[in-house]
Amino acid sequence: MRAISDGCGRSVFLKSDMHGHAHRYPASRRGGGGFTLIEVLVAVACIAILMAILMPSLGAARARAREVTCAVRLQQWGLALACYAHENGGVWPHCDGLDRQDPDPNHPNDPPPNAPRWQVADWFGWVDLLPPLIGYERWRDFPIKQHPDQTTFYQCPAGERLPNESYDYNPARNGYFSYAMNSCLELDENAWPPPDELDYPMPSFLDTGKIAWPARVYVLFDQLLDPSKGYGGNHEYGSCGQHCGSYPIAFSARHQRSGNKLGGNILHADGHVQWYRTVWKADWGDWQIGRQQSPPRNDPNWYPYPVRGGGRGHARGG
């Protein structure tokens, strides 16, 4: 093939076929031409098929990443608990916090001098005392409508709340908790004696040195944030996520895992985190009856000390 002039100032290329005949091609056509419409459609179809194949895998990978992050954050809380116990004679903070009431504007950092004992415990909740030990703000220091969400250390990344009207409280204004401390830790032998007007033991601070089975005792767990899945999906649970301390009823249909299974992570007293599909046990009976919330007193997963006299746990909100 060689270029010659066509006498009009344009270049043409000569190409000989097998019989020695020369064919002329204008210079503007050399290099040929692009994709046809059919080729483009085929390429798009192939990409769509690949995406359809990969999307479930990508979704499962994202869910798994959220699950792992959730477990890692629970382990961080476990380290903070260990630091607090080391600095405070082996005791842990209380399971509750200022989630149950508005703080007194005259006493923003300390409980009022005349506060009843049950209220004082709210000033020593884990969400206020533990975060500063690992470089985070206390829960009570966050302004209204600016509480931490699932992108922060405070929450499980899989814990996304629904619109406010789904709840019995206002999570957008007052915040919400996707992690809760086991409230049964306060209903125990070291609890304060209750005043006459109350029928359950008073809040107390758990002595870690007396825990009988640290590897079994539940400390912090993912709690339910979807009201429609309360009571195993049988009854609305509008207060879900409201309290930073709760009972087995709050651990229900937490978030999705591979194989379309539901459950959540639990931090144990010895520091390890484990995934559970449920914590409700068959021999506890139907949790619909009487809205049973706290497990039997002899359950070693929820109560840290050996049983003295047996009996069932107290059923109350929180």
Q: With a cut of 50, say whether residue 316 has pLDDT above it.
A: no
pLDDT in tens, 193-235: 555 555 555 556 788 888 989 999 999 999 989 898 887 777 7
Q: With a cut of 50, say whether residue 317 has pLDDT above it.
A: no
pLDDT the model gives residue 312: 41
Pairing of strands 273-276, 261-268: antiparallel
Is 22 inside a domain boundary?
A: yes
Q: How far apart are CA 137 and CA 140, in angstroms?
A: 8
Q: How far apart are CA 14 and CA 243, in angstroms?
A: 85
In this prediction the pTM is 0.73
Q: Quick one: 107 and 17 in the same domain?
A: no
Q: How many domains does one find in the chain?
A: 2
Share of the chain above pLDDT 90, in %: 21
Q: Quick one: 124 and 267 in the same domain?
A: yes
pLDDT the model gives residue 199: 56
Q: Collect contacts of 144-147 with beta carbons under 8 A, ≥24 apart.
A: 144/173, 144/174, 145/172, 145/173, 147/174, 147/175, 147/176
Are residues 178 and 223 in contact, defined by beta-carbon separation less than 8 angstroms? Answer: yes
The domain containing residue 194 runs over which residues?
66-291
pLDDT in tens, 47-94: 877 777 666 666 667 777 878 899 999 999 999 999 999 988 888 888
Is 308 inside a domain boundary?
A: no
Q: Quick one: 14 and 100 in the same domain?
A: no
Q: With a cut of 70, say whether residue 21 has pLDDT above it.
A: no
115 or 242: which leads in pLDDT: 242
Q: Quick one: 13 and 94 in the same domain?
A: no
Q: Quick one: 142 and 27 in the same domain?
A: no
Is 245 inside a domain boundary?
A: yes
Q: Quick one: 6 and 81 in the same domain?
A: no
Q: Quick one: 19 and 107 in the same domain?
A: no
Is 297 inside a domain boundary?
A: no
Q: Quick one: 91 and 210 in the same domain?
A: yes
Share of the chain above pLDDT 70, in %: 65
**Distances from the Cα of 90 to the Cαs of 111, 129, 131, 168, 206, in angstroms?**
23, 14, 18, 37, 8
